[in-house]
Amino acid sequence: MPVLEMAVSPVKSLYWEKFPSMSQCRVYCAPVYHEGMVYVLGGCSETGMPLDSVEVLDVESQTWSQIPPLPTARAGASAVVLGGQVMVLGGMNQQQTPLASVEMYHPDEGKWESKASLSQPSMGVTTLKKEGKVYAMGGMGCDTAPQALVRVYEAAKDRWQPLTAMPTPRYGATPFIRGNKIFLMGGRQGKMPVTALEAFDLETKSWTRYPCIPTRRAFSCCAANEQSLFSIGGLQQPGPHNFYSRPHFVSTMEEYDLDQGIWIKPSRTSRMKEKRADFVAGWLGGRIIAAGGLGNEPAPLGSVESYNAVKQRWECVAPMPTARCSSALLQTSSMLLVIGGVAQGPSNAVEALCLSDTV
């Protein structure tokens, strides 16, 4: 099995780096990473209002600076770096209405510029960059309905071109690029979690449906390694067979093997040690990481665990310095940055799970 070839770093090589706090508490912000700088764009304030402020962290010197504010205050926006410039799109404005506007920050000039807007207002758009193009998929519209829109941005012409719509409308889905395919997992349609797993082929511009995530869980997380896609944790909703049960937190992990094209039957050890939802998940040191969230405790969780695919089991990692849920996650090759979220109330904490070179 190819899984045995994966290098998995020892648990003790993972440690938390605590950065100075942001000047503002933020939930639902949009972070991006570019050349050693973390841009934290917008989000919701402690009073629940969308923010226009942008804070920038220099990772090496661990210092924060402010850049000119967003022309449009927004929460739940999407952001991406394109050609050394920071692009922010969609989200929700101060009237609680989805936005179509797109704005670009030029670090060299210290200025924001308005760009061609999306075809329709959207929040929770899944956005990613591939070969100099920005793909914007799905979202939630002004009527609160999930969208199936797929748009590609051509920077040279400053325009969004429509592409083949997604088979399943949704917002807040997680993307994974594998070769020339963009896989989309999860997301939401209103209060309902989406189980659809679909992939967009960048060459044929067509969609393929894959077997759905076996169980429907709200506030779950999606993560991936080289071989597999994972759907982890969440809040299990009552279904047709357990209609009278109450929603409950779960430690479920379901794994989709990309080579075999199947969901692997869960083993006894594939469950997380802790039941959790509304957490963050990523991939670091050959491990799937699950950090924080909400569980069967009155306060947010600080516990962190990692899935070792070679041993096929979860192992405990050093806990988060600040226990919280609803955080934003930013992944680089050497760290997972956990930004803002909710601790006792909205949080301004910024902490990174890092991989040490030497153990």
Maximum pairwise Cα distance, the chain = 59
Q: Starting at the edge strand that comes first in sequence, how are the strands of the sheet with 217-218 ordered?
A: 217-218, 235-236, 248-249
By residue count, the chain amounts to: 359
Ranges of the chain with pLDDT below 50: 1-5, 359
Q: How far apart are CA 53 and CA 40, in angstroms?
A: 9
- Give the residue from 187, 227, 102 showing the smallest Cα distance to 153: 102
Residue 292 dihedral angles phi and psi, to the nearest 5°: 70, -150
pLDDT at 241: 65
Q: Which of 185, 145, 180, 149 minimizes the C-alpha distance to 166?
A: 149
pLDDT value of residue 7: 83
What are φ and ψ of residue 2, in 5° steps? Answer: -65, -20
Dihedral, 203, 209, 210, 212 alpha carbons, nearest 10: 140
Q: Do 42 and 74 form a contact (C-beta atoms < 8 A)?
A: yes
Segment 302-348, tens digit of pLDDT: 999 999 999 999 999 999 999 999 999 999 989 999 999 999 899 99
Which pLDDT score is estimated for 238?
73
Number of Cβ atoms within 10 Å of the Cβ of 170: 27
Do 182 and 200 form a contact (C-beta atoms < 8 A)? Answer: yes
Q: Are 136 and 78 in contact (CB under 8 A)?
A: yes
Neighbour tally for 174: CB within 10 Å:
18
Those residues whose C-beta lies under 8 Å from the C-beta of residue 68, and which sit 6 or more positions away, are 54, 105, 110, 111, 112
What are the residue boundaries of the structural domains of the chain, listed by start? 14-355
Query: Which residue, 75, 181, 91, 168, is CA-closest to 128?
Result: 181
- Pair type for strands 287-291 and 304-308: antiparallel
Overall CATH class of domain 14-355? mainly beta
Give the model's pLDDT for residue 265: 92
pLDDT of 6: 61
Whole-number pLDDT of residue 358:
56
Which residue, chain included where needed, has tokens 């829109």? 149
Residue 182 in tokens = 């963009």
Nearest residue to 29 via CA among 55, 3, 1, 64: 55
Q: How far apart are CA 355 and CA 107, in angstroms?
A: 29
